[in-house]
Structure 1
């Protein structure tokens, strides 16, 4: 089960780093598989249904505030909810702290490189895929430069490697 969880985490991180999007099918796969592991009593991190549901609710609900204010994409919020199903409520705080630190470093480096003309390729890579502007297609979507779902995924791997879960 850890292998499937890890594959899912790496897919989310790769997709978000590359496209600044987490597709719904990927979030739904992770959430469905988390529920299956709970039903089969094969949950790899030793959490029960109550902790999983609490983790999903808090993960989704807390980040929903950032989505509502336009600071975060919907994929980040949905992924946080699915991740909460896997790791439970207790693991979310250290994962959020790690992800927020990574996102903060990303933002500082991106802002510094935007103003420093020596490494434009790195600044472009950190900013993500540019959104095509087409005035006839309606309002342009807000660009999201920080792939927070990817940083949640990376922090989750760090949480796993640190020995925090009961394996």
Structure 2
């Protein structure tokens, strides 16, 4: 039960950080991975997966999203978070989590697109766009990453924890 709480707290921190900053810092990804490994080593893994399933989940989670990063479609934090998440949930849970997260991210993008074309709510469009580069403290322009995919992965994981694991 304590590992479930640790996972939920980690998912909450990742979601809040990604929604606010549109990035997931390395220290936060590493903290989640270390706790997942500790839960595995101590036999406290909340979903009953073994080392093989966890490591396969981490490898596939990281490797599959690495392609999106290579094409400039995703941030590195999202990729690293997916790898750490795979340590927690294993390989079999990644598919439903990715599907739900991708649907949420797609809805985010579609709503942002509609609000850019028909500005019914400029404030909502600004929130969906994320922080400006000045708010990030960076003087150099960077590619906009307005969809907080790690946050949507975290939300989909919570949904999977509540509804997806029921037999």
Instruction: Give yes or no for contact 1:55–1:84 (8 Å, CA) kept in 2.
Output: yes
For residue 143 of structure 1, report the CA deviation from its aligned partner: 1.1
Number of aligned residue pairs: 162
Question: In structure 2, the residue corresponding to 1:162 is in which secondary structure?
Answer: helix
Contact kept in structure 2, 1:99 and 1:154, CA below 8 Å: yes
Q: Closer, same or farther in 2 for the Cα pair 1:47/1:156, shift >3 Å?
A: same
2:18 match: secondary structure: helix
Residue 66 (str. 1) matches residue 68 (str. 2): yes
Number of the residue aligned with 1:21 = 23
Q: Distance in 2 between matches of 1:45 and 1:56?
A: 15
Q: 2:135 aligned with 1:164, yes or no?
A: no
Match of 1:36 in 2: 38
The one of 52, 56, 59 aligned to 2:58:
56
CA RMSD for the aligned pairs? Answer: 1.4
Runs of 4+, deviation exceeding 2 Å: none
Q: Which whole-Å CA distance do the structure 1 matches of 2:81 and 2:13 have between them?
A: 12
1:81-120 equivalences under 5 Å are 81-120=83-122
Per-residue CA deviation, residues 85-141 of structure 1 (Å, 9 max, x unaligned), is: 0000000000000000000000000000011122000000000001239xxx55x21
- Who is 1:75 aligned against? 77
SS in 1 for 2:45: coil
Q: Which runs of 5+ in 1 are unaligned?
A: none
Distance 2:156 2:16 in 1: 14
TM-score, normalization by structure 2: 0.94
Cα 1:8/1:92, change in 2 over 3 Å = same
Structure 1 range deviating more: 103-112 or 113-122 = 113-122
Where structure 2 has 5 or more consecutive residues not aligned to the other structure, the ranges are: none
